[in-house]
Amino acid sequence: MLSCYRRVVCFLLITTALLTACGNGAETATAVPPIIPTATVAATPTAENLPTGALPAITAVTLDRPTLPRYESLEMVVEVTAVYNNPYDAREVALDGLFTAPDGSEMRVPGFWDGQEAWRLRFTPSQAGEWRYQLHLTDANGVSQPAEGTFAVTPSDHHGWLQAGNWVNPDYSGHYLVHHDGTPFYGLGHADALNILIDGFTVERGVGLFNNMVEAGENYLVWWPFYTSSPVSGSYDNYTVSNLNLIDAVVKDAQAKGIFLVFTIWDHPQLRDNTHAWGTGNWGGNGFSKLTDIDTFFTDPEAWAWQENLYRYVIARWGYSPAIGLWQTVSEINGTNAYTQTDPWHEKVNAYFVENDPYRHPTTASRSGDVDWPEGHLAMDAPQVHLYDFDNDAVGAAQILAEWTSLMFKRAEKPNWVGEFGVTGNTYYPELFHNAIWAALATGAAMTPAEWNSGGNWMRMSPEMLADLARLGTFVSDLPLAQLKPTAVTLSSSDPDVRGWGVIGADGGLFWVQDFALEGAPIEQVHADETVRQGVSVSIVGMAEGVYEIRPYHTWQGTYLDAFTVTCAVNEPCVIPLPDFADDMAFKVLRK
């Protein structure tokens, strides 16, 4: 039976759902659930009848404010009359907005049914001035007349969502991320993928984990929202309202606090059944299991049509937010039942986000630990690997991170990163963590490697690790890497126990050196070592001719040593004398 929805709505208090999900606001750690909880699905609105063949109509549009600062977000509540069975099926009904900027450029943005009372459309403007909008509603009978209006955008200090550098400015490097307005960005963060509410939630403080991250200087987090809060935990065609509201609140709080989310669509358990070598996943808790079996999920046309509905909904409901740092379309795809469909299906999902996200948040995806995926890297915007095989070698972690990061850096001019890494326990930390993050920076990573955290044996970010991230953040804070356009250089050392890596362009960059004499040694020996390297120099192949200022940085203390200058000759290695150092040292390189 055809039905239509015509409602005037009031704003939903998201915090009600969050307080229920988080223990009535108590700031206690949330246990990591083994599977997705039982779903509660959206109530279907009461039906009305329309004359056969009547066009849909937009009867009212309410803006949450008439004026807003640049890169903040506007929400519209849209009252409609239309004929359809399911508000989550864009083949039956779809709300779309055309937004025209002051300079005449246009953005097409999808709207969504909120699961309770209203059609909504969320939008984040990128220019100051007057914006115009046209909203259209489409159903089986055709397209509505446009609902039109304007709103004003004022200047602000916000910088917008993340982009690859060369998307914003063709003169910038595509190896690094920048904000939409071109402001430099370097990612400092980790993975708390399973349990984003592990540090609690209150109305007053929001997401406790975000508060702790801000205090520590972190700016990005890997998150698997579908692991515990999937919109399709109950059904593929009727989304779970409590989970939608929880994700709303998390994204909104992240935006307010400057945290960028690696927002994962499919974590591998969602797409794995008990026939897989990794063991039982959570396919039975995935609403798509009510539509198809796991094998045909990746190929069936109707399954793909409902995936498109889901991806459109994700973009419409959360893509508006600058807090979406990256879309991770799938995490560890070889842990799913994709098998021979790994590349075709990934490319299809990736293409949907590239072609339909009006904000063009970069895409990423992964295979499991220590496995290359060249086909995937060429398709996605931000290549990544996962690394867990360190053989209990805190010093050797640098070589592993350097090799994988260099591989991705050379493969394509895209921002690359290590999306997961680590070892259980804290025995090999902080040295393993320290060497990993600095080696990744020195070989061209766009963000620090994301250390896997979930409590238990995988522990949490320790104060020492957070302090290490903060020191690296200080070092890169005034290095506009995308603008510098550094390339990989080759370092050789006068001391056979010292190695190094660097990325340096015509106007500057950085390099990092490491004493690796204890590579493979027991961690107790590494902890106790106090060796100071003296009189070492490095020869760098790949630096352009000219005079450079070299600023040594003590990576364990977060302090600069006295700067000095070197002159590099054309077509010759540039020889740089190093100050005495223990363990490792970083160097900022700036053309004079």
Which residues contact residue 53 at a Cβ distance below 8 angstroms, ignoring those fewer than 6 apart? Answer: 141
Q: How sure is the predictor about 74, in pLDDT bands with cuts at 50, 70 and 90?
A: very high
Cα(75)–Cα(123) distance, rounded to whole angstroms? 7
In this prediction, residue 456 carries a pLDDT of: 86
pLDDT of 132 strictly over 90:
yes
pLDDT of 32 strictly over 50:
no
Average pLDDT score over the chain: 92
Task: Please give the structure tokens belonging to residue 176.
Answer: 């690094």
In this prediction, residue 45 carries a pLDDT of: 42
pTM above 0.85, yes or no: yes
Q: How sure is the predictor about 21, in pLDDT bands with cuts at 50, 70 and 90?
A: very low
In this prediction, residue 241 carries a pLDDT of: 98
H/E/C letters for each residue in 485-536? CCEEEEEEECCCCEEEEEEEECCEEEEEEEECCCCCCCHHHHHHCCCCECCC
| DSSP, residue by residue, 81-146 | E--BS-TT-TTT-EEEEEEE-TTS-EEEEE-EE-SSS-EEEEE---SSEEEEEEEEEEETTEEPPP
Tell me phi and psi for residue 496, to 5 degrees: -65, -15
Q: Kindly list the distances between the CA atom of residue 301 and the CA atoms of 179, 226, 410, in Å, as whole numbers in the listed order.
A: 37, 23, 37
CA-nearest of 483, 473, 400, 492 to 439 is 400
The predicted model gives 230-251 an average pLDDT of: 97
**pLDDT tens readout for residues 521-560:** 999 999 999 999 999 999 999 999 999 999 999 999 999 9
The predicted model gives 67-93 an average pLDDT of: 98
Q: How sure is the predictor about 22, in pLDDT bands with cuts at 50, 70 and 90?
A: very low
Which residues contact residue 227 at a Cβ distance below 8 angstroms, ignoring those fewer than 6 apart? Answer: 33, 36, 193, 194, 267, 269, 270
Which residues contact residue 72 at a Cβ distance below 8 angstroms, ignoring those fewer than 6 apart? Answer: 124, 156, 158
Cα(488)–Cα(445) distance, rounded to whole angstroms? 11
The predicted model gives 362-384 an average pLDDT of: 97
| DSSP, residue by residue, 42-62 | PPPPPPB---TTPPPEEEEEE
The predicted model gives 250-270 an average pLDDT of: 98
Task: Please give the structure tokens belonging to residue 252.
Answer: 């909104």
273-313-285 Cα angle (round to 5): 20
Quickly tell me which residue has 């040594």 as its tokens. Answer: 552
Cα(72)–Cα(447) distance, rounded to whole angstroms? 24
Regarding beta strands 363-364 and 324-331, do their DSSP bridges make them parallel or antiparallel, or are they unpaired? parallel
The predicted model gives 445-470 an average pLDDT of: 95
Cα(204)–Cα(436) distance, rounded to whole angstroms? 36
Cα(406)–Cα(412) distance, rounded to whole angstroms? 11
The predicted model gives 236-240 an average pLDDT of: 98
Q: How sure is the predictor about 53, in pLDDT bands with cuts at 50, 70 and 90?
A: confident
Q: Please, what are the domains in the chain?
A: 14-154 (2.60.40.10), 162-481 (3.20.20.80), 487-591 (2.60.40.1180)
The predicted model gives 239-255 an average pLDDT of: 98
Cα(348)–Cα(364) distance, rounded to whole angstroms? 13
Cβ pair 530, 582 in contact under 8 A:
yes
pLDDT of 33 strictly over 80:
no
The predicted model gives 290-313 an average pLDDT of: 98
**pLDDT tens readout for residues 171-228:** 999 999 999 999 999 999 999 999 999 999 998 999 999 999 999 999 999 999 999 9
Cα-trace Rg, the chain: 25
In this prediction, residue 52 carries a pLDDT of: 64
Taking the CA atoms of 538, 543, 544 and 550 in sequence, report the sign of the dihedral they define: negative
In this prediction, residue 51 carries a pLDDT of: 54
Q: How sure is the predictor about 282, in pLDDT bands with cuts at 50, 70 and 90?
A: very high
Which residues contact residue 465 at a Cβ distance below 8 angstroms, ignoring those fewer than 6 apart? Answer: 429, 430, 433, 451
pLDDT of 65 strictly over 90:
yes
**What is the end-to-end Cα distance of the chain in Å, rounded?**
74
Which residues contact residue 566 at a Cβ distance below 8 angstroms, ignoring those fewer than 6 apart? Answer: 547, 548, 550, 574, 575, 576
pLDDT of 249 strictly over 50:
yes
* DSSP symbol at 318: H
